[in-house]
Amino acid sequence: MARLMIKVGLISAVMAVAILIPEGASAQTLPPFPAIFSGTVVVGGSPAPAGTKLYGQVGTYRSAPSTIMENGRFVGLVVGPPSSELVGQTVYFIYQGIRANETYRFTGSLLDPQTITINFPALPLTGDEESARLWLMAGAVGLIFLFSGAFLMRRGLSSAR
């Protein structure tokens, strides 16, 4: 009798688990543990400005941003792709659309915090900076023409006498 009750109990437990697990869940795997980064962002040799954003990217997965604080410091950049297929792939660090010189191999290991310095080359000029540069060049060329014209005009008047 005790054996029968154990068998009935086991069968009931298996059936309860089968009912509670959604269809197709047995084929799914848990996502890997995220990599967590903290450290400093350096852009063109200087600390990144406070308030700017840093991202981590593995394959097509892009993390939520970490906001840069004073002196280029950042904390809690969590790179946690949803699929274990990305374990072993390269983590790229993205700042204002530019990839950093440094990379990291995504391990998916439990509690693998990293403290790093992420270096970016000097960023290209933005539209406003490029416009300012063009205006300065145009102004310089205009001044050259102005002084050249004044010189030639003065020379022309001197030779007319």
Is residue 47 pLDDT above 90, yes or no? yes
> CA gyration radius for the chain?
32
151 band by pLDDT with thresholds 50, 70 and 90: low
Is residue 27 pLDDT above 60, yes or no? no
Is residue 76 pLDDT above 50, yes or no? yes
Mean pLDDT within 22-36: 72
**What domains does the chain contain, in order, with CATH numbers?**
27-120 (2.60.40)
